Amino acid sequence: MEKVLVYAPVTKDAGRFPPLPALQQFLEEDEASYRQLAQQLYPSDKAERVVALRKEKKEAEKKWERLTAERAVEEYLYYRMGLTLEAKTGFGGQGKVWRAGDYAIKVLAPDFSTGGEYARHTYRIYCEQGLRHCPYLPRYYFSFSAGGRTVYVMEFLRGTTVWELARQTEADAKCIIRDTLKALGFLHHRGLSHGDMKPDNVMVLKDRAVLIDLDHLRHDYCSGSGAADDLRKTGEVLLKALGADPQTIERIATLTTPQSVAATLASFMPYQPSGELIHFILELFHGDSTAQELLGLPWLISAPPAPGNISQPPPPPKETAPPTYAYLRPQSQTAMPAPPPPMYMSLLPLPRQPIPPPQSLRMPPHHPPPPPMPIHHPPPPMPMLPMAFPYMPPPPGMPLHVLPPPILAR
């Protein structure tokens, strides 16, 4: 049975949301303004062709539809949830993201909304699989449709994506990749794949990294190809965090030997990469480990190297005398200061004679031990005399007193 939400009627504020013009009026005004702009940029004959081409593609109709959809979403948020759209924070091929206080409002394009050709049920998967329990995934609070568009009310994250960040240290890159693998492991354990892993979709906050943009979530129970593709794309996120450009990332993704990977990493890293980092990168691009197994590799567990040229050998250790343990040292070296006297010795002097114990603690008088008990030996068994003939049991039904006594051999 379909769930229908019924709201109480509200009184709309005409001054806050003025009505949009009708479609025909909007088309006429848009064509006039665009023709005036085209005549300023192009000759008269070319300007007319540009206006006709725009009219043929129905750009004005699409613009009017977009404005009406945004107005419907804005009114729904204001009257039903008390939210006001403040500014646009991002846009892409699937839709736009607006900010409304502490919330992010994502308005999907018509093709990706409910009923569209590429519609995906992201919010339903999010609720069914319990993705709100993972702190490395964004929070989805609500979803609705208005003006033919699907809208997600999400958590507004104040951070920077990996693509926008400058070169990070290896310690910071470890933290970013560790949180990203935790988010992927949470998805892969539930048979899901992210489907759009890239540096733009990993946002770094003050306390953690969050894997955003869940619009490409899909079930990946059987083949596991989606999970493997997520881990390969995680290698690109790692290299971008370390400061590699797109061409270098593509070249490293095709290398299969540790020597070639080390030489390429040394071309843009300020210090010589460690063998654990090289092994981790090869495992991301060409290994078959899961996200949980990658979290246990030595590079994510060990401490990051200190900044500087670590390719130089460390200085030799200083020659020191072997340690001498306390029980092998002379008594003069191990003489300990006398412990301070107990507190009661200065307050209450000890008596000269020992205090007798109380009556309940005195030992009983000594008595000689009792005599030992005699050892009891059982009597020997009686000898059994042999019988002249074997004993036969009585026939059934015959009383026992009728049978003669057995004849014993003498």
99, 153 Cβ separation under 8 angstroms: no
**CA 174/CA 169 separation, integer angstroms:** 9
Summarize pLDDT for 239-267 with one digit per residue, the tens: 999 999 999 999 999 999 999 999 999 99
Instruction: Answer yes or no: do 185 and 122 share one domain.
Output: no
- What is the structure's pLDDT at 140? 95
Residue 153 has pLDDT above 90, yes or no: yes
Decide if 333 is inside a domain.
no
More confident residue, 3 or 197: 197
What percent of the chain is modeled with pLDDT above 90?
40
Burial of residue 155 (CB within 10 Å: 0-12, 13-18, 19+) is: middle
- Give the burial string for 89-121 (b: 16+ CB within 10 Å, else e): eeeeebbbbbbbeebbbbbbbbebbeeeeeebe
Q: Which residue range is the domain that position 204 belongs to?
A: 160-301
At a CB cut-off of 8 Å and minimum separation 6, what does 125 contact?
Answer: 131, 192, 217
Summarize pLDDT for 261-293 with one digit per residue, the tens: 999 999 999 888 989 999 999 999 998 899 999
Q: Where are the beta strands (DSSP E) in 116-196?
A: 140-146, 149-155, 160-161, 192-193
Two tokens at 331? 């008594």
Residue 357 has pLDDT above 60, yes or no: no
- What is the structure's pLDDT at 117? 85
> Confidence class of residue 308 from pLDDT cuts 50, 70 and 90?
very low
The verdict on pTM exceeding 0.85 is no
Instruction: Answer yes or no: do 140 and 249 share one domain.
Output: no
More confident residue, 337 or 272: 272
What CATH number does residue 246 fall under?
1.10.510.10
**CA 126/CA 115 separation, integer angstroms:** 19
Q: Among residues 200, 210, 214, which one has the least CA distance to residue 176? A: 210
Decide if 347 is inside a domain.
no
At a CB cut-off of 8 Å and minimum separation 6, what does 398 contact?
Answer: none
Residue 116 has pLDDT above 50, yes or no: yes
| β-bridge mates for residue 408, sequence order | 387
- 239, amino acid identity: L
Decide if 51 is inside a domain.
no
Instruction: Answer yes or no: do 216 and 99 share one domain.
Output: no
Instruction: Answer yes or no: do 150 and 189 share one domain.
Output: no
Instruction: Answer yes or no: do 249 and 120 share one domain.
Output: no
Decide if 237 is inside a domain.
yes
Last-in-domain residue among 155, 176, 205: 155
197, 229 Cβ separation under 8 angstroms: yes
- In this prediction, residues 10-22 reach a mean pLDDT of 79
Last-in-domain residue among 243, 272, 301: 301
Instruction: Answer yes or no: do 102 and 192 share one domain.
Output: no
- What is the structure's pLDDT at 340? 57
What CATH number does residue 140 fall under?
3.30.200.20
> Confidence class of residue 301 from pLDDT cuts 50, 70 and 90?
confident
Instruction: Answer yes or no: do 88 and 221 share one domain.
Output: no
Instruction: Answer yes or no: do 130 and 263 share one domain.
Output: no
Positive or negative: CA dihedral 257, 263, 265, 271: positive
**CA 352/CA 342 separation, integer angstroms:** 18
Decide if 332 is inside a domain.
no
Q: Is 91 helix (H, G, I), strand (E, B) or coil?
A: strand
Last-in-domain residue among 155, 185, 207: 155
SS3 content of the chain, % helix, strand, coil (to 5): 40, 10, 50
Instruction: Answer yes or no: do 239 and 139 share one domain.
Output: no
At a CB cut-off of 8 Å and minimum separation 6, what does 42 contact?
Answer: 50
**Total structural domains in the chain?**
2
Residue 353 has pLDDT above 70, yes or no: no
Instruction: Answer yes or no: do 200 and 270 share one domain.
Output: yes
- What is the structure's pLDDT at 327? 40
**CA 296/CA 308 separation, integer angstroms:** 26
- What is the structure's pLDDT at 346? 45
**Considering only 41-45, 66-70, 111-115, which range has the smallest mean pLDDT?**
41-45
Instruction: Answer yes or no: do 190 and 247 share one domain.
Output: yes
**Considering only 130-134, 195-199, 357-361, which range has the smallest mean pLDDT?**
357-361
Decide if 149 is inside a domain.
yes
- What is the structure's pLDDT at 154? 94
Instruction: Answer yes or no: do 195 and 290 share one domain.
Output: yes
